[in-house]
Structure 1
Amino acid sequence: MNLKCFFAFTLLTVGINIVKARDKLVLCYYGTWATYRPSLGKFDVENIDPNLCTHLVYSFVGINTQGTVISLDPYLDLPDNWGRDNFAKFNALKIGTPNLKTLLAVGGWNEGSAKYSRMVASSILRRNFITSAIKMMQDYGFDGLNLDWEYPNRRDTVNGPADIQNFVQLVKELRTEFDKYGFELSAAVAAVEAVAVQAYDIPGISKYLDHIGLMTYDLYGPWDPVTGHNSPLHKGEGDGNIPREQLYTVDVALDYWIKNGCPPEKIILGLPLYGHTFTLVNADENGLRAPSSGTGIAGPYTSTNGIIGYNEFCVKLQRETWNVRYDSLAQVPYAVQNRNWVSYDDTGSLTAKVQYGLGKNIGGIMVWSIETDDFRNVCGKGKFPLLNAINKALGINITTTTTTTTTTTPTVSTTTKAPNTPSESVCKSEGPTADPMDCTSFYICTVDPSGKFIPHKFKCPSNLYWDKNNLYCNYPELVECNVK
């Protein structure tokens, strides 16, 4: 049955005076799972400042075995069964910012490659994908689709090299159908030649995509045997005689894509709002390319060894003793504390990358991802200091005046489905609770109007367990779990 969901809310409407020296995109990914982070790391749609982005990207939805686009978190995304209806809230951000575009991202690292390899190889599954994507965008008010298949002809691919031309066929068919509705079509792609050369027909996909986001981050990380910058602009200290074409740097990746047929004005340069952490083998050998034994410290909110949000690390830099250094060649900072080694970006390094990209006539900047900027101004440099620095470097000056108004979201039409949940007996109170049968899962319990508990099951990211004491997914060795 169709439900019409009306809700009114008080919106802090911001009168904006924007002066653009250049008409460039600022494409901002929002990792929706940040809503489940603890304390000051919790980031909801209400925390987004839509004035700092031209495009907001809702991450992620996925596909099923029939190629149909589906919500990966129905409780969070949809209004059905007393869900939180984030799709509608996200698109309601356009009410106060009429030039804002919202995109729906499909895929992501955790989705893998196999399902997408099968989907693009079948005309029937491609049709299912296209029609279901259009329906989801129409139902909830998105302006376009962002493809984040990681990656064609890589990882657990089913069809191998055939993925490359099958992906071209998909974007061609999407382009034909999207043009009927005015939808935008973009993709996030592997930036470095070593992966891109095996995954993409660059001229083929460039013909049909509106913009192409180069993931110029995760270029080096704690999976490497030595320390390295997450997103170096140029060849850095310690790189020695490594040939330029073998370097994983922003400048080399950008040149590769342009040289191989991607129009620079379609390129959206990816910048990280997070860092990578390493554990040094020897605290005395602590420069670039120093021996590393693997992942380093975790942040209190992202809770993943090897990764730390800027909002987490800026606090450490203020409260702890770190040796902060600057690689003047790579134009990025890094920090050392005993055996801890952290590669990260600050306002200066992000500004340098923006300026370099503008010199190549790129179409704009994308960021991964806004919930790891200092969105609460904990470190005292203003809210979203990194995102503000990016806008400034692009020549976008934003000044705001504040007024309060009340408005109502547009009508949203959805279809209610029977809940696929276990007995409500797993729930004893509202909020998160452990799965009594599985250490890697947990439930969010809600209450319907009759007072009945409704459990919504979620899966922790790979290799993590639900920590019932701290109420987030954590490393197994840090979790007490007695499930056999």
Structure 2
Amino acid sequence: MTKLILVTGLALLLNPQLGSAYQLMCYYNNVAQNRPKLGSFNPADIDPCLCTHLIYAFAGMQNNKVTMRSMNDLTDYQALNTLKSSFLDYIQVMTYNLHGSQDGYTGENSPLYKSLNDTGINTLLNVDYIMTYWNENGAAPEKLIVGFPAYGQTFTLSDPSNNGISAPTASAGTLGPYTEESGTWAYYEICSFLNDGATEAWDSAQEVPYAYQGNKWVGYDNVKSFRIKAEWLKQNNLGGAMLWTLDMDDFTGSFCNQGQFPLTSTLKNALLVYSTSCMASVSDLQQVNAPLYSGNRNWKRGSKAMDSVSPVPRE
């Protein structure tokens, strides 16, 4: 039995033997299977040892029942169900999409802390403030799951020589070669950008990187920022992390020179999600990929300085 959460996804317990005090919940976006070449990602590409839970995005809903949104949904549901189901009792907070091209200036996708340039409402748009808000308004910290994005927000600079935080922008960045979405690049597409000569800078106030080349600019997370955020999460006794999405991590290991699933693996290691018996064997992946048919079936700061919900609840 699966449980429908507010994003209308299916939450599955991937491996009951994974041992950790923290949860690592990973999203699989079903549109990823339609991406070209190395960007294509389907259930057979999932390493069942990486995460404690998998959430399928997105399902349909009609009359309080899960319905198909595409012809592939039923096959995908059944394939993922071979990995075992579970109920969730957590609050997933989407601590990303905090800045974007609609702002008219550059900004980080998921900063841990506020920027030195932030004023007014922008001082609220950071992970630390958002999670503090939820806790101070009654949410138990051990039930709070912090959102970690495996993608960045892209911008087109108005003036390539003005390329820092809060620099004026003309529009969203160019489409990624694989994700083909306006304003966002997957982590592996950002690695390609860096490999092509872009300059990477570290935003020490917000504990996240950004990169630029010519009039192209992207604010994102990397292995370093994930590690810092995970330590912050543990210091504040939160329930764990959720990743959006597995298919935007470098799942092939072909782009970032950090192995397969570098961002997800960073969270797995930092949160001590482990199992001596869990192995992503060829038979596991063959079983998931086999044809299936229908049937009845106050927070601490670091040393440096289940329902899915929007970052700050509306009163």
With the shorter chain as reference, the TM-score category is 0.7 to 0.9
In structure 2, relative to structure 1, the CA distance for the partners of 1:413 and 1:302 (3 Å cut) is closer
> Are the structure 2 counterparts of residues 405 and 338 from structure 1 closer, same or farther at C-alpha, using a change threshold of 3 Å?
closer
Q: Distance in 2 between matches of 1:72 and 1:307?
A: 24
Kept after mapping to 1: 8 A contact 2:49/2:280: no
Which structure has the greater CA radius of gyration?
Answer: 1
* Aligned mate of 2:216, from 321, 332, 340: 340
Alpha-carbon distance between aligned partners in 2 of 1:287 and 1:327, rounded to the nearest angstrom: 9
Structure 2 CA distance for partners of 1:414 and 1:354, relative to 1, 3 Å: same
Distance 1:245 1:307, change over 3 A: closer
Larger strand proportion of the pair: 1
Q: Determine whether 1:361 maps to 2:215.
A: no
Matched, 1:87 2:77: yes
Q: Does 1:384 align with 2:261?
A: yes
Q: Distance in 1 between matches of 2:81 and 2:116?
A: 44
CA contact 2:24–2:273 (8 Å) conserved in 1: no
Q: How far apart, in 2, do the equivalents of 1:361 and 1:344 lie?
A: 25
Going from structure 1 to structure 2, the CA distance change for 1:251 and 1:221 (only over 3 Å counts) comes to same
Q: Is the Cα contact below 8 Å between 2:48 and 2:280 reproduced in 1?
A: no
2:202 matches 1:323: no
Residue in structure 1 matched with residue 169 of structure 2 by the alignment: 292
The structure-2 alpha-carbon separation of the partners of 1:378 and 1:90, relative to structure 1 and needing over 3 Å to count, comes to: same
What is the CA deviation profile of residues 206-246 of structure 1, one whole-angstrom value per residue up to 9, with x for unaligned ones? xxxx100000000111111111000000012432xx25884
The percent identity for this pair of structures is 38
**What is the one-letter code of the residue matched to 1:293?**
A
Equivalent residue number for residue 114 of structure 2: 235
Q: Which of 35, 50, 59 is 2:48 aligned to? A: 50
Structure 2 residue 96 is matched with structure 1 residue 250? no
What runs of 5+ residues in structure 2 fail to find an aligned partner? 1-14, 298-315
Tell me which residue corresponds to 1:414: 295
Q: Which residue of 2 aligns with 1:283?
A: 160
Match of 1:309 among 186, 191, 215: 186
1:23 aligns with 2:21: yes
Aligned-partner SS, 2:189:
helix
State the number of aligned residues: 278
Letter in 1 for 2:215: R
- Give the structure, 1 or 2, with the largest relative contact order (CA under 8 Å, sep 6 or more): 2
Which of the residues 202, 211, 224 maps onto 2:103? Answer: 224
Structure 1: give runs of 5+ residues left out of the alignment: 1-14, 79-84, 95-141, 144-183, 186-209, 417-484
Instruction: Report the secondary structure of 1:414's partner residue.
Output: coil
DSSP-derived class of the 2:175 partner: coil
Structure 1 residues 382, 245: CA separation in 2 closer, same or farther (over 3 Å shift)? closer
Does 1:272 find its partner at 2:149? yes
| Counterpart for residue 305 of structure 2 | none
Q: Output the aligned Cα RMSD.
A: 2.8
Report the Cα offset of residue 413 of structure 1. Answer: 5.9
Following superposition, the deviation at residue 17 of structure 1 comes to: 9.5
The runs of at least 4 aligned residues of structure 1 exceeding 4 Å deviation read 15-18, 397-409
Structure 1 residue 272 displacement after superposition: 0.1
Deviation at residue 415 of structure 1 after TM alignment = 6.4
Match of 2:27, as an amino acid? Y
Query: Quick one: distance in 2 between partners of 1:63 and 1:16?
Result: 27
Q: Secondary structure at the match of 2:180?
A: coil
Over 3 Å counting, the alpha-carbon distance change for 1:402 and 1:222 in structure 2 is closer
Q: Helix, strand or coil for the counterpart of 2:110? A: coil
